[in-house]
Amino acid sequence: MRKGLWAGLLALLIASASYAQLTRLLPTDGQLGELAGQQHPFPLLQINNKVVRLAPGGVIYDRQNRTILHNQLPEYSPVLFVADRKGEIARLFLLRPDEYERLERTLKR
């Protein structure tokens, strides 16, 4: 009984540690940019000195991959965004420094 408990605990610890090391899946069709948040009313955003609109149903993800609201945006942040056919922002990802460096090497601006 005791061995089973320890084996289960060890398996749980290994699984949780390996999950924390996974990189988040970001879209390959995204564009890099610099967000200047909190400067425009909802649904407007400023990315790369250009004011754009958040699409209806558009989703903003923070650095931990949680969805956030427009009023929770930081003042400045590197972002990866996906625009729809109208040019509105369908998905916006706030990037961690390591993600930004990795994407800057792989994506063309």
Instruction: State how far the Cα of 84 lies from the Cα of 96, in Å rounded to an integer.
Output: 24
The per-residue pLDDT for range 72-81, each reduced to its tens digit, is: 999 999 999 9
pLDDT one-digit tens code per residue, 5-62? 777 777 776 765 555 556 788 888 899 999 987 788 888 999 999 999 999 999 999 9
Contact predicate 45/8, CB 8 Å: no
The predicted model scores a pTM of 0.76
Please tell me the distance from the alpha carbon of residue 59 to that of residue 29, in angstroms, as a whole number: 16
pLDDT given at position 23: 79
CA dist list (Å): 54 to 18, 47, 58, 67, 91: 34, 11, 6, 14, 8
